[in-house]
Structure 1
Amino acid sequence: MESLPIVIQILSLSGALGFMYFIARLIIKGKLREEYSFIWIACTIILIVFSIWRKGLEQISLALGVFYPPSLIFLAAIFAIIIFLVHLSVVNSKMQQSVKELTHEIAFLKKELAQLREHDKLESLGTPLVTES
């Protein structure tokens, strides 16, 4: 594999640094939670390392026995995507359970509020309150 031209190296480094800036802005604005930002920051750091260390991907792929170094990038990306999707599925399941519990709680509170309003109406009319035992 030929060595990358310096122009491509500069473009990839500036793109990775631009992406890091974008992630930092999302965190500062509160649009990206810190727990998810670690994944994106780690991926960006990997891109920066490979942008600076030209032969890195080639050496790692040779050490792992991968014959075509760019395929190692795709393998790692697919693995990372699968892990991230499983994590998001777990978070989604927890949120669905929380929404269900909150919905039940709101229903109980509405019922209790309706009973209190009915109780207040009956008292204002002078009707004695009959409680269930």
Structure 2
Amino acid sequence: MESLPITIQLLSLVGALIFMAFIARLIVKGRLREEYSFVWIACTTVLIVFSVWRNGLTEISLLLGVYYPPSLIFLVGLFAVISFLVHLSVVVSKMQKSIKDLTHEVAFLKKELDEANQKKEYIMSPNPEHLTS
């Protein structure tokens, strides 16, 4: 297999470094949580490694017995996307349970507050029936 031209190698390296800077900026601004940033940093690191190591994908695919090296990229990418989607599904499920629990707690507290306000109004009324008997 032919080696990549140097211009494509440099463009991919610069692109990966710009993407790494973008991820770092999102982390600093607090728009991306640290636990999710590791995935993006790892992916960008892989891009940087393959940008520098020109025949890396070919050598790894030959080692794994993959005939067409770009298909290895799609296989790894598909696995990464599926893994990330499962992780996000677990996170969303936990948040949904937490929201349900918090909603129940707020409803109970609101009921208690309404009952306490009704008792207070009953005691403070100018003509309470419980004092006349």
Instruction: Please say whether Structure 1 and Structure 2 have the same fold, judged by a TM-score greater than 0.5.
Output: yes
> Residue 17 of structure 1 aligns with which residue?
17
CA distance in 2, matches of 1:62, 1:24: 34
Show structure 2 runs of 5+ residues with no match: none
**Runs of 4+ in structure 1 over 4 Å off:** none
TM-score normalized with structure 1 length: 0.95
User: How many percent of aligned residue pairs carry the same amino acid?
Assistant: 68
Per-residue CA deviations over 1:12-53 (Å, capped at 9, x if unaligned) read 000000000000000000000000000000000000000000
- Aligned 1:45-84 pairs, distance under 5 A: 45-84=45-84
> Residue 88 of structure 2 aligns with which residue?
88
| SS of residue in 2 equivalent to 1:116 | helix
User: Is contact 1:122–1:128 with CA below 8 Å preserved after alignment?
Assistant: no
Q: CA deviation at 1:128?
A: 3.9
CA distance in 2, matches of 1:15, 1:32: 20
Aligned AA (1:41) = I
Show structure 1 runs of 5+ residues with no match: none
Q: CA deviation at 1:127?
A: 4.5
CA distance in 2, matches of 1:14, 1:58: 21
Q: RMSD of aligned C-alpha atoms?
A: 1.1
CA distance in 2, matches of 1:33, 1:42: 15
CA distance in 1, matches of 2:45, 2:104: 44
User: Is contact 1:27–1:34 with CA below 8 Å preserved after alignment?
Assistant: yes
Corresponding residue pairs, total: 129
| SS of residue in 2 equivalent to 1:86 | helix
Aligned AA (1:63) = L
